[in-house]
C-alpha cells in the first residue's frame, strides 16, 4: 500500500494547477538544502579539529560524547519549529477497503524522509569513523552510529507527536517549549545540571559497554509506536469533531477566555491559529528567545551602557510578540478575511480580541522577565513600565498600521525562508515602535531626570490603556474606510 500511496501523491502533485510554481520552489529549496548539507559535511569531517580548538583542555572523545545530547536538544527545538508534518488526504481512502494500519503506517513511515534525519549522520559519523573506530575498534564505532540513529528517530517522532498533540490542544506546544527552556536554563544559567556530563555518562559508557546502544533504538521504536497509535486513533478526527461541534464552544479549550464572551472566542481562535501554523508560531517562539535578550546586554552592575538602553531591552523582552506578530496584522486572517467582512462579527470585538491576545502574551513574557530583578529592582521597574507601554501604545500603533497592510500570508506555507507578507508597512512600523518611547524618555534622560522619564512612560501607557475603548472606536472607523482595499490585497495570490 505504501507504493500505492506514493503513486497517488505523485499524481496529485503533477496534476495540480500550481505544479510549475511548486517545482520552482522545490528547486530553490533543494539548492539551499544542498548548501547546508555541504556545510554540515565540512564540519563533520573536521569536527575533531573544532573540538580540539573549542575544548583544548578536555580529552577529544570526552568532548565529542559531551556535545551529542546538546545537539539533540537543539535538534528537537528546530524540529518543533521547522519540520513539516507528513500529510495524506485520508478521506477518499476511508470509503475504500483500506486498512487504517496502512494509512497510519504510511504517515509514520514517510516522516523518516525528513532532511532533519540526515544532519546528525552527516555531522557525527565522520568523527566516529576517524577517531572512535581508530581508538576503540569497529564494534564501538558501530554502537555509536546505532545510538545516533536511534536518537535521531526518537527526536523525529517526538517532535511529530508533540506537534500533532498541539494541533488538538495548543497548551501542549507551550509546555514542551517550557520544558526545553527549563532544561537549558538549568544547565547554562542556574548550573543545576550539566548536559555535557549527562551525555558523557551514556556515550562514555558506550565505549566499554556497546550493548547499551540498543537503548536509544528502543526509545525510537517506542516513539514510533506512540505516533502510529495516535494516527490510527485519529483518522476520523474531523468527522468526530464535526458531530461534537454543537456541544461546546471553541474557547472551552481556554476556559479563562470564556468570561470575555465573543471577544474571548475570537482570542481563542487566534491562539489556535498561532499554535497550529509554523509562520505565526515562529513569532511566539521568537518572543520567547527575546526573553534571553537581557542576558546579552545586562551585567552585574546593571546594563552595558546608559540606563536608557534598558528601555529598549525592556520593550523588546515584554513586547517582542506584539512587534513580530503584530506587524503582519491582519494578514494572518487573509485566507478567510472576506468571510469576516460578511459575518455577524463586530469589528470592534475583533479589535478587542487582538488587544486581549496581546495583553495575555505580553503579561506572560513580563512574568518571565521577573528573574532579571537579579540585576536590581530598578531593572524590573523599567521592564514593568515598558510592559505597560507595550499594552497601551505599541498595541495601538500596531493595529493602526494593520489598516494599511494589504499583503496576504498563506498559513499553509512554512516559516523558513518565507518572505510572504513583507512590505513597506513592516519597515515603516519599526520606526514609531522604537522611536516613540525615546521621544518621551529622552529629554528627561538628557536632563538627568531618568525617574521622571520612566514614570511618564508608565503614566502615558496607563492613560492609553484606560482610554482603550476610544482608540478601538477610532481604529474601527479607520478600518471601514480601507476594508475593501485590504480585502482586495488579500485576494492577490
DSSP state letters, 1-27: -HHHHHHHHHHHHHHSTTHHHHHHHHH
| Whole-angstrom distance, CA of residue 227 vs CA of residue 111 | 11
Other C-beta atoms within 10 Å of 19: how many? 12
- Tell me the per-residue pLDDT of 27-43, one tens digit each, with 9 for 90 and over: 877 888 888 889 899 99
Helix 424-446 × helix 308-326 angle, to 10°: 160
| Residue of 42, 52, 44, 34 lying closest to 123 (CA atoms) | 44
- Tell me the per-residue pLDDT of 326-379, one tens digit each, with 9 for 90 and over: 888 888 887 777 777 777 778 888 889 999 999 988 998 888 888 888 787 888
- Tell me the per-residue pLDDT of 448-480, one tens digit each, with 9 for 90 and over: 888 888 899 999 999 999 998 899 999 999 888
Q: What pLDDT does residue 491 have? A: 73
Q: Express as a percent the part of the chain with pLDDT over 70.
A: 83
- Please give the residue that has the higher pLDDT: either 262 or 356: 356
Q: What pLDDT does residue 88 have? A: 60
Q: What pLDDT does residue 303 have? A: 44
Report whether pLDDT(20) > 70: no
Q: What pLDDT does residue 220 have? A: 94
As a whole number, mean pLDDT of residues 423-435 equals 69
- Please give the residue that has the higher pLDDT: either 228 or 88: 228
Q: How confident is the model at residue 98 (pLDDT cuts 50, 70, 90)?
A: low
| Whole-angstrom distance, CA of residue 77 vs CA of residue 67 | 16
Report whether pLDDT(221) > 70: yes
Q: What pLDDT does residue 275 have? A: 79
Burial class (CB in 10 A: 0-12, 13-18, 19+), 37: middle
- Please give the residue that has the higher pLDDT: either 27 or 91: 27
Average pLDDT over the chain reads: 81
Amino acid at each position: 500500500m505504501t507504493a500505492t500511496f506514493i503513486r497517488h501523491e505523485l499524481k496529485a502533485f503533477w496534476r495540480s494547477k500550481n505544479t510549475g510554481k511548486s517545482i520552482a520552489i522545490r528547486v530553490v529549496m533543494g539548492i539551499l538544502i544542498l548548501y547546508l548539507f555541504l556545510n554540515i559535511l565540512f564540519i563533520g569531517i573536521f569536527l575533531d579539529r573544532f573540538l580540539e580548538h573549542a575544548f583544548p583542555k578536555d580529552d577529544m572523545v570526552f568532548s565529542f560524547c559531551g556535545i551529542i545530547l546538546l545537539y539533540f536538544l537543539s535538534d528537537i527545538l528546530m524540529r518543533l519549529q521547522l519540520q513539516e508534518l507528513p500529510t495524506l488526504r485520508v478521506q477518499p481512502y476511508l470509503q475504500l477497503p483500506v486498512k487504517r494500519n496502512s494509512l497510519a503506517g504510511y504517515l509514520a513511515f514517510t516522516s523518516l524522509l525528513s532532511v532533519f534525519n540526515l544532519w546528525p549522520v552527516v555531522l557525527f559519523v565522520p568523527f566516529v569513523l576517524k577517531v572512535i573506530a581508530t581508538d576503540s575498534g569497529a564494534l564501538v564505532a558501530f554502537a555509536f552510529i546505532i545510538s545516533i540513529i536511534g536518537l535521531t528517530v526518537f527526536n523525529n517522532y517526538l517532535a511529530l507527536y508533540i506537534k500533532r498533540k498541539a494541533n488538538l490542544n495548543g497548551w501542549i506546544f507551550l509546555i514542551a517549549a517550557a520544558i526545553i527552556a527549563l532544561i537549558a536554563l538549568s544547565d547554562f544559567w542556574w548550573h543545576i545540571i550539566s548536559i555535557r556530563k549527562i551525555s558523557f555518562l551514556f556515550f562514555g559508557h558506550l565505549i566499554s559497554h556497546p550493548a547499551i546502544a540498543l537503548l536509544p533504538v528502543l526509545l525510537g521504536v517506542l516513539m514510533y509506536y506512540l505516533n502510529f497509535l495516535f494516527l490510527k486513533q485519529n483518522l476520523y478526527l474531523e468527522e468526530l469533531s464535526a458531530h461534537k461541534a454543537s456541544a461546546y464552544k471553541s474557547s472551552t479549550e481556554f476556559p479563562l477566555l470564556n468570561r470575555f464572551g465573543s471577544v474571548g472566542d475570537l482570542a481563542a481562535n487566534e491562539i489556535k491559529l498561532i499554535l497550529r501554523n509554523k509562520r505565526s508560531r515562529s513569532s511566539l517562539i521568537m518572543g520567547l528567545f527575546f526573553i534571553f535578550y537581557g542576558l546579552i546586554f545586562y551585567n552585574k552592575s546593571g546594563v552595558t551602557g546608559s540606563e536608557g538602553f534598558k528601555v529598549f531591552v525592556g520593550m523588546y523582552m515584554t513586547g517582542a510578540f506584539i512587534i513580530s506578530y503584530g506587524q503582519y496584522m491582519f494578514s494572518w486572517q487573509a485566507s478567510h478575511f472576506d468571510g469576516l467582512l460578511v459575518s455577524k462579527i463586530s469589528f470592534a470585538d475583533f479589535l478587542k480580541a487582538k488587544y486581549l491576545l496581546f495583553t495575555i502574551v505580553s503579561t506572560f513574557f513580563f512574568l518571565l522577565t521577573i528573574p532579571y530583578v537579579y540585576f536590581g529592582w530598578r531593572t524590573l521597574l523599567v521592564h514593568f513600565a515598558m510592559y505597560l507601554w507595550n499594552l497601551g501604545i505599541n498595541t495601538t500603533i500596531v493595529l493602526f498600521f494593520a489598516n494599511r497592510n494589504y499583503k496576504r500570508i498563506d498559513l499553509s506555507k512554512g516559516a523558513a525562508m518565507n518572505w510572504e507578507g513583507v512590505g513597506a508597512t513592516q519597515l515603516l512600523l519599526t520606526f514609531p515602535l522604537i522611536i516613540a518611547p525615546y521621544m518621551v524618555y529622552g529629554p528627561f534622560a538628557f536632563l538627568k531626570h531618568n525617574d521622571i522619564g520612566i514614570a511618564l512612560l508608565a503614566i502615558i501607557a496607563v492613560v492609553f490603556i484606560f482610554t482603550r475603548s476610544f482608540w478601538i472606536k477610532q481604529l474601527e472607523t479607520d478600518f471601514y474606510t480601507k476594508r475593501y482595499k485590504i480585502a482586495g490585497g488579500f485576494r492577490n495570490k
